[in-house]
Amino acid sequence: MTALPPSVAARETAARIESLAARLLTWGTRAVLALIAAGVAGMLATGTDPITAPSPGFSPGAALGDLLALRPSGFLWAGLVALIALPIGRVVVSGAGFMAAGDRRLALVSVLVVLVIGASVLAALGPEG
């Protein structure tokens, strides 16, 4: 078996990373849609109007409890959290792929992007505790 030239190997690795990230986004989006649809269907089944009903505040513990108790708000919050997490997951998958491919520069960029997102989340949560 002959080794591929570095440029061909790099393109194939990039294509594999992109394919994996695309699958993550595709299946993740389908899961998000299913969770939100289940939440809206649950609200309709209980006679709650999803448009005019007051929005329950977000608490990770309460959202998880609502999801485990099969309450509609749990499905809605799980869908929204997953929707926000999908792009972050794409950056993590890409970064891991770049590291595996030996591209330290792009792996470092991925790590820095995740750190910036993490700092933003912490800054947003800071005033409220």
* CB of 128 closer than 8 Å to CB of 58: no
Q: In whole numbers, what is the pLDDT of the chain averaged over residues? A: 85
pTM check: above 0.85: no
Residues 91-110 have pLDDT tens digits of: 998 888 888 888 899 999 99
How far is residue 91's CA from residue 25's CA, in Å, rounded to a whole number?
A: 11
Beta-carbon count within 10 A of 35 CB:
21
- What DSSP state is assigned to residue 3? P
Q: Band the pLDDT of 30: cuts 50, 70, 90.
A: very high
Q: How far apart are the first and last CA of the chain?
A: 58
* CB of 32 closer than 8 Å to CB of 86: yes
For tokens 């933003």, name the residue: 120
Q: Band the pLDDT of 13: cuts 50, 70, 90.
A: confident
Q: Band the pLDDT of 4: cuts 50, 70, 90.
A: low
**pLDDT attached to residue 3:** 58
**pLDDT attached to residue 127:** 66
The arithmetic mean of pLDDT across residues 39-67, rounded, is 85
Return the domain boundaries, the chain.
Answer: 6-125
Q: Which residues of 62-91 are buried (b: 16+ CB within 10 A; e: fewer)?
A: ebeebbeeebbbbbbbbbbbbbeebeeebb
